[in-house]
Amino acid sequence: MVKSLAISLIALIIMKDLNMSIIGLSLLTITSLMTTSTAISSVEMGGLYTTDFVMGLMVTLTLFVAALSHLSSVKTARKSSFNLMVVSITLILLMSFSVSSFFLFFFFRESISTSAIANCGMSMSASAITSSGLYGYLYCVWFALLSMSRKGIMCKSNKEKNKVCSKYSKEKRYKTVVTVYSGLLNKLPMYPFHLWLPKAHVEAPVAGSMLLAGVVLKLGGYGLLRFMSVMQMNLSSVFYILLLLVNLAGGLYAGLVCVRQVDLKCLVAYSSVAHMSLVLLGVLSNTPVGVMGAVIIMIGHGLCSSGLFSYVNVAYKMSHSRLLVMNKGGLLICPSLVLMCFLLSSSNMAAPPSLNLFGEILVFGVGGWMSGLFLCILGLMSFISACFSLYLYGSCNHGKGMMHSESLSFSSMCDIMILAVHWVPLNFLFMFMP
């Protein structure tokens, strides 16, 4: 893991032409994903960093997705500033996953939103910046303010700030939970706080989308997971039950809304919202099986949604449109791309042996253990995920091609390889999970 990190830094800083080193890096990170995931013990380094297997997985996922997002935007304009942006986002993400203090975690987590907005703005016009910036700020900053203020109070009142092993006094626990959760749930995003996500995706360039869906969304789940491990919470409180119900209903609604989308990126973004509610259920169940399921779904979803955004980008390059009606008949144009699209969208609907299915089985088990009602809702969500995944595949790739575009540009081998590299760990990593 350390080796691959060092190599990635060397490759990104020293070498000018990054593509070859990045292909090597992505292979290294796959092996690293396998090895870190077997390390169960947790190691604290100098009071600043903590490593355990969740952190190791998240860090490797970040490196992996960052490498692939760089590869999928090789031909960007303003190359150097773009590279700077991607590298800075990656570094901030790495920091926020690996620091052991809650305060620093929140600090880095919030600095992501700034650089993400800058990233969104890179390729867009001024009006686009205003709308996505408005949404991003209104959601992220407002809730961040709430949780940061609470963090400050916590840091003052508590001596221990470590996110792995601190304990809480009972007073003000309720307020702490509500405020900190609101910040994290917004990042996740949970259903009522999700409006910023499709808008940010629509306006971000492909690398931004891949990083956002693949890694940034995991910050919320990761933070919740850490927070749950130190926070003693009354599992029969009204807040908790309400949170679970809103979360599951929200996942269902997000899935339903998916089939009404006309924009490919919006569709994939809403499908992330639907999947994130499974993560939240796993984390909130506060059982080893549920937490394991949540981590596995996070990894699986990170790979899968990043791959789907990459696919959307390839489709965009071919048809010059992200609209569903303008992307038809892919099978006639580029069969290998269609194969990758099918593999990724079937993994998105949790087909075996993907990590999504593995995590879904665990979360289903926990949901059934919690309540029969949850099991019913989870079943419906799983069904709807099949609906929108097959909708995505069928509407893009089946039928006669749209002949609106006079000069079709074909996808390159590199694009297909990027999609394949997303799919391979997604479907074979289950063997290496601890």
Partner 1 sequence: MKLMSSNLPLLVLICSGYLSIFTGSILSSAYLLEVPVWDSHCLSFSFSILADNVSMIFVGTVLVISGSVATYCKWYMASETYYNRFMGLVWLFVLSMIFMILVPNLVMLLIGWDGLGLTSFLLVAYYQNNKSLSAAMLTALTNRIGDVLVLVSISILLNEGGWLVYSYYPVSMWSGLSVVVVLAGMTKSAQMPFCAWLPAAMAAPTPVSSLVHSSTLVTAGVYLVLRSFYVVSANPLATQMLMILSLFTLVLAGSSAVFAFDLKKVIALSTLSQLSLMMFSISILLPFVAFFHLVTHAVFKALLFLGAGGVIHSNQSIQDIRGLSSLWQSLPVSMSAMSVAIVSLSGAPFMSGFYSKDLIIELSMMDSSMTYGCYMLELLGLIFTSFYSARIVFSVMLGSNYINCSTLRLFEHLNMQVPFLSLYVGAIFLGLSLGSTMEKFGYVVVLESYESLSIFLIPFVGLAMWWGVLTKLGFNPWSWTKMLSFFLSMWLVESLTSHPGKTLFFKSSLMMYQTLDQGWLELLGPQGVYAKLGQVSQLNEVVQSNYFTYQMVAWSLVTIAGLSLVVFM
Pick out residues in 242-281 that bind partner 1 (CB under 8 A): 253, 256-260
Long-range contacts: 405-411, Cβ < 8 Å, 24+?
Answer: 405/319, 405/320, 408/318, 408/319, 408/333, 409/317, 409/318, 410/318, 410/333, 410/334, 411/314, 411/317, 411/318, 411/334, 411/337
- CB neighbour class for 254 (10 Å; exposed up to 12, middle 13-18, buried from 19): buried
Q: Is 390 in the site for partner 1 (CB under 8 A)?
A: yes
Q: Is 288 in the site for partner 1 (CB under 8 A)?
A: yes
Residue among 87, 368, 420, 428 that touches partner 1 (CB under 8 A): 368
Binding-residue pattern over the window 101 to 140 for partner 1, x denoting contact by CB under 8 A: ---------------------------------xx--xx-
Residue nearer to partner 1 on the CB measure, 223 or 250 = 250
**Nearest distance from residue 357's CB to partner 1, in Å?**
7
* Strand positions, DSSP E, 48-122: 49-51
Residue nearer to partner 1 on the CB measure, 403 or 431 = 431
At 90, list the tokens.
Answer: 């990656």
**Nearest distance from residue 185's CB to partner 1, in Å?**
14
Residue nearer to partner 1 on the CB measure, 8 or 382 = 382
Residue among 156, 167, 170, 400 that touches partner 1 (CB under 8 A): 400
Residues binding partner 1: number (CB under 8 A): 52
User: Could you tell me which of 305, 348, 339 has the C-alpha nearest to residue 420?
Assistant: 339
Helix axis angle, 173-187 to 142-157, nearest 10°: 140
Task: For residue 183, give Cα distances in angstroms to 76, 118, 240, 285.
Answer: 33, 21, 16, 19
- The window from 202-210, 214-222, 232-240, 365-373 that contacts partner 1 (CB under 8 A) reads 365-373
SS3 label, residue 99: strand
Residue nearer to partner 1 on the CB measure, 90 or 272 = 272
Q: Is 423 in the site for partner 1 (CB under 8 A)?
A: no
Q: Is 289 in the site for partner 1 (CB under 8 A)?
A: yes
Strands 49-51 vs 43-45: parallel, antiparallel or unpaired? antiparallel
- The window from 164-172, 210-218, 234-242, 353-361 that contacts partner 1 (CB under 8 A) reads 353-361
User: Could you tell me which of 126, 134, 147, 322 has the C-alpha nearest to residue 219?
Assistant: 147
**Nearest distance from residue 7's CB to partner 1, in Å?**
30
**Nearest distance from residue 82's CB to partner 1, in Å?**
28
Residue among 11, 23, 91, 433 that touches partner 1 (CB under 8 A): 433
The span from the CA of 107 to the CA of 95, in Å, is 10
At 220, list the tokens.
Answer: 């919320």
How big, in percent rounded to 5, are the helix, strand and coil portions of the chain? 75, 5, 20
Q: Is 394 in the site for partner 1 (CB under 8 A)?
A: yes
Residue among 11, 361, 417, 420 that touches partner 1 (CB under 8 A): 361
**Nearest distance from residue 135's CB to partner 1, in Å?**
5
DSSP letters, 362-376, are HHHHHHHHH-HHHHH
- Give the burial string for 280-317 (b: 16+ CB within 10 Å, else e): bbbbbbbbeebbbbbbbbbbbbbbbbbbbbbbbbbbbb
- The window from 44-52, 83-91, 387-395, 411-419 that contacts partner 1 (CB under 8 A) reads 387-395
Dihedral angle computed from the Cα positions of residues 282, 104, 58 and 219, in that order, rounded to the nearest 10 degrees: 50
Which residues face 43 on adjacent strands?
51
Residue nearer to partner 1 on the CB measure, 331 or 421 = 331
Binding-residue pattern over the window 319 to 338 for partner 1, x denoting contact by CB under 8 A: ----------x-xx--x---
Give contact residues for partner 1 (rule: CB under 8 A).
134-135, 138-139, 192-193, 195-196, 253, 256-260, 288-289, 292, 329, 331-332, 335, 342, 346, 349, 351-353, 357-358, 360-362, 364-365, 367-369, 375, 379, 382-383, 386-387, 390, 394, 398-400, 430-431, 433-434
